Structure 1
Amino acid sequence: MTALGTIEASELVARRPVGHSLEAAFYTGREFFDLDIAAIFAKHWIFVATEAELPEPGDYLTTTLGDYSIIVLRDDEENIRSFHNVCRHRGARILDQQRGSVGNIVCGYHKWTYGTDGALRHAPSQPPGFDPGCFGLKPVHARSVAGLVFVCLADEPPRDFADVSARIEPYLAPHRLREAKVAAQVDLVEQGNWKLVMENNRECYHCDGHPELLRTFFPTYGYTDANLPARLRPAHERYLRVDAELRAICDDSGLPYRLIEELDTRATGFRIQRDPLDLAGESFTADGKAACRRPLGDVPTPRLGHLSLHLQPNSWFHVVSDHAVTFSALPIAPDRTLLRTTWLVAPDAVEGVDYDLETLLKIWTATNEQDAHLVARAQQGIGSPAYEPGPYAPTEYQVEAFCNWYIGRLREHLR
């Protein structure tokens, strides 16, 4: 970003009105895209994968954050590690596949060879005195939280991540995600800025556009008794009844379920809660019944609603009694975002025997496609000279929290 660009960005950040959407430049400008990479994606913990995607030593995946390419792999000791995907010889990209398995990490240019611990093992034709210990792969901070893999590019990651991890792990632990397996993974490129993808996910003001999801998702999400429309009163009363039943089950089983919401008051903003589902209350299916016969982890009953987790800046998760769904939003360009959705099932679940893949994927595949259409419409509208920031409805308070967190992170970076 140029000096002039920095000044303009600082002015836009400083004048952002609380309770309103951001100005167009935040969603459309290359300057803000580059700033988002530097201030957000290069400084915070970013969800990039699940341990289930790296089941064996040597299994790896690569991911892109702006100009950064990162390797995430399971090393020979079965630990999760991450490195910059840059050879220490002359900087060539080492691994160019999205995923695979290696014994050693070999650069295809001059065959410099690294162990899965990142140490340089072999560098052909080097002079006497060459010290391979000085040329290991540059490490990236990596941490698994109950089977969810996060990386941080910063030299000093946000210190509060350990506290956040300790608070969310008890919610996730009963589902044993580290032992789960991948049933499916779908990449969808949305034609919108990454912030629009996240904002869209943080509200249900638009959820009448998700008929499949609303079969099991209560349509009262985000409402309170004070702003609940009369048409939603029957659904709300049904929600209160089912919620009381879920709380009793969790209390008897020692499962945490209470809402923790710290979205914009800390570096690693998060929200977690176990909430009931409608209909059979077991899973995201047309009738609410489990999509997989094998339970996901140590669950006392299929009727456990959904465990919902949201982490700033780029991820959200839904875990039900029979499967889990993870979502990661990764910026590609000012107007394009990769949404990666991964479905996890029990390790002994067999496709075609214990679950039907189409049934398992149907609800969230439809919802993602619907959201992609809405995000594209938002991006198109914001690109018009007629656009100006509009006010958020009370049910969009989590969108405001996301934007408030984002603006706070930019202020700190620009300072």
Structure 2
Amino acid sequence: MNPLQRAAPVDVEALIARRPMGLSLEAPFYTDEAIYDLDLARIFGRHWLFCATEAQIPEPGDYVTMDVGPYSVILVRDEGGSIRAHHNVCRHRGARVLWDECGSVANIVCPYHQWTYRTDGTLIFAESQPPTFEMEAYGLRPVSVRTMAGLVFVHLGERPPDDFAEMAAVLESYLAPYDLRNTKVARQEEVVQEGNWKLVLENNRECRYNEASHPDLATSYFPVFGYSENDISPQLRPVFERYLVAAERLEAARAAAGFPRDERREIDTRVTGFHISHHPLDGEGSSFGPHAEPLCTRLLGSIGQPAFGDLSLKFQPNAWFHFLSDHAVLFRMLPAGPTRSVLQTTWLVHRDAVEGVDYDPEALTRSWRITNAQDTALIAKAQDGVENPAYEPGPYSLVEDDIEACIRWYVDRLTATGEDVGAAVAQYAAGL
């Protein structure tokens, strides 16, 4: 749609002001193109985004690209082994430099006029320039990049939030035992989800994996998240008793390994929001195989026993992770339009694990491939619902407090700078 032909901008400040806690957002937050543009600018343009893992770019010259709205980023390991991030825009006449999602290069060469850059972004070839041309002034524009225990994050703006180091100091003690830098990608898949990115995030933050919605995961997870003992029905009582036994086993395993035990829930209390928690699994307590059976015989890092539950990390605004004793599953979600998102799922195993011997890639990925398909259908139904003129915001349940915290973070971050939100929306809607 031509930006000048858009409908009159919505009054986002009024929408925010009248939103009571505990209710879902009004429809324009999930459908309006100007609010989507505002989300790109104020959420995805001003916060740290999970991009990739170090395991995806293990050697010098290895790269991945990531597209976020109008932005494209190159994440590359340079000749010295450091990780760099660059805007994927040639400094000559603006052509996109790398088009593949991943690959390996000796140098980064623009396909249009062959301007050539080292992997650290330095310009080393620009044909037919005058003697006064300063090569050093025309390197690829850098993107802020940080690593944390093998996970790589980028920031698209000029002033990244200054709390990344504080967050990393908390989380690295949880993640270090899994030694993600010594893993490899067993499989990676992308799926387009026909829903606004906030609906995708809400669906993930719900975390009620029950037999009706996710029967494959139900064999591993206990369906008691968010419940206190007083909330347990007679039907759930046997499951809850089994959960208590599994929780005691996990606590003993963590104590023996010197593993952190505290849950850290800081979804809406900091700029770089996160939530890390450690859950026991049902059955064998190990992984996402049938009845929580292991899926890879080679364990990660220093995790010394298979039955080590699921370490779950949720990261605002675009990622969530599951770390098991035998593999890790990483999810990266990015907006692709007001009503469309792209979910990338990456499965990591130990670097020395041998496909077909230590793990079967089909079995390794089965439960989450099925779950992603189920979630894709659920998100499409949710998007269809919020586009219905009859839609009104509804109340979150008592066990959906993570969704409320997630949305509260989102609303707070939209208004955090004190800038006029309504004027910004009007500007985007006018295409200025």
TM-score (norm 1): 0.97
Q: What is the CA distance between 1:230 and its match in structure 2?
A: 3.0
User: Which residue does the alignment assign to 2:75?
Assistant: 72
Distance of aligned partners of 1:226 and 1:35 in 2 relative to their CA distance in 1, 3 Å threshold? farther
User: Which residue does the alignment assign to 2:352?
Assistant: 348
- Please state if 1:289 is matched with 2:307: no
User: Which residue does the alignment assign to 1:311?
Assistant: 315
State the Cα deviation string for residues 320-378 of structure 1 (Å, max 9, x = none): 00000000111001111100000000001111111111110111111111111100000
Q: What is the CA distance between 1:204 and its match in structure 2?
A: 3.3
Q: Distance in 2 between matches of 1:150 and 1:132?
A: 28
Q: Distance in 2 between matches of 1:370 and 1:167?
A: 33
* Alignment equivalent of 1:184, drawn from 174, 184, 187: 187
Q: Distance in 2 between matches of 1:298 and 1:109?
A: 48
- Greater CA deviation, 219-228 or 254-263? 219-228
User: Which residue does the alignment assign to 2:395?
Assistant: 391
How do 1:5-404 residues align onto structure 2 when only pairs under 5 Å count? 8-205=11-208, 207=210, 208-404=212-408
Which residue identity lines up with residue 197 of structure 2 in the other structure?
Answer: W
Verify the 8 A CA contact 1:274 1:307 in the aligned structure 2. yes
Verify the 8 A CA contact 1:39 1:413 in the aligned structure 2. no
Q: Distance in 2 between matches of 1:238 and 1:59?
A: 46
Q: What is the CA distance between 1:227 and its match in structure 2?
A: 2.9
Q: Distance in 2 between matches of 1:232 and 1:159?
A: 44
Q: What is the CA distance between 1:97 and its match in structure 2?
A: 1.1
Verify the 8 A CA contact 1:113 1:120 in the aligned structure 2. yes
Q: What is the CA distance between 1:257 and its match in structure 2?
A: 2.9
Distance of aligned partners of 1:5 and 1:67 in 2 relative to their CA distance in 1, 3 Å threshold? farther
State the Cα deviation string for residues 117-168 of structure 1 (Å, max 9, x = none): 1111111111011111111111001111111111001211111111111101
Q: Compute the RMSD of aligned alpha carbons.
A: 1.6
Verify the 8 A CA contact 2:321 2:330 in the aligned structure 1. yes
TM-score (norm 2): 0.93
Q: Distance in 2 between matches of 1:365 and 1:399?
A: 23
Q: Distance in 2 between matches of 1:127 and 1:204?
A: 60
**Secondary structure of the corresponding residue to residue 367 of structure 2:** helix
Verify the 8 A CA contact 2:63 2:75 in the aligned structure 1. yes
**Secondary structure of the corresponding residue to residue 411 of structure 2:** helix
% identity of equivalent residues: 52
Ranges in structure 2 where 5+ consecutive residues have no aligned partner = 420-432
Q: Distance in 1 between matches of 2:214 and 2:10?
A: 41
- Greater CA deviation, 217-226 or 19-28? 217-226
State the Cα deviation string for residues 287-338 of structure 1 (Å, max 9, x = none): 2121011111111211100110001001000010000000011100111110
Ranges in structure 1 where 5+ consecutive residues have no aligned partner = none
Q: Distance in 1 between matches of 2:417 and 2:363?
A: 44
Q: Distance in 2 between matches of 1:257 and 1:154?
A: 35
Which residue identity lines up with residue 190 of structure 2 in the other structure?
Answer: D
Which residue identity lines up with residue 87 of structure 1 in the other structure?
Answer: C
Verify the 8 A CA contact 1:203 1:222 in the aligned structure 2. no
Q: What is the CA distance between 1:229 and its match in structure 2?
A: 3.0
How many residue pairs were aligned?
415
State the Cα deviation string for residues 103-124 of structure 1 (Å, max 9, x = none): 1111111111111111111111
Q: Distance in 1 between matches of 2:186 and 2:99?
A: 24
State the Cα deviation string for residues 28-68 of structure 1 (Å, max 9, x = none): 11111111100110100001111111111001111111100
- Greater CA deviation, 233-242 or 181-190? 233-242
**Secondary structure of the corresponding residue to residue 291 of structure 2:** coil
Which residue identity lines up with residue 95 of structure 1 in the other structure?
Answer: L
Verify the 8 A CA contact 2:266 2:274 in the aligned structure 1. yes
Q: What is the CA distance between 1:23 and its match in structure 2?
A: 0.4
Verify the 8 A CA contact 1:69 1:85 in the aligned structure 2. yes
Verify the 8 A CA contact 2:10 2:28 in the aligned structure 1. no
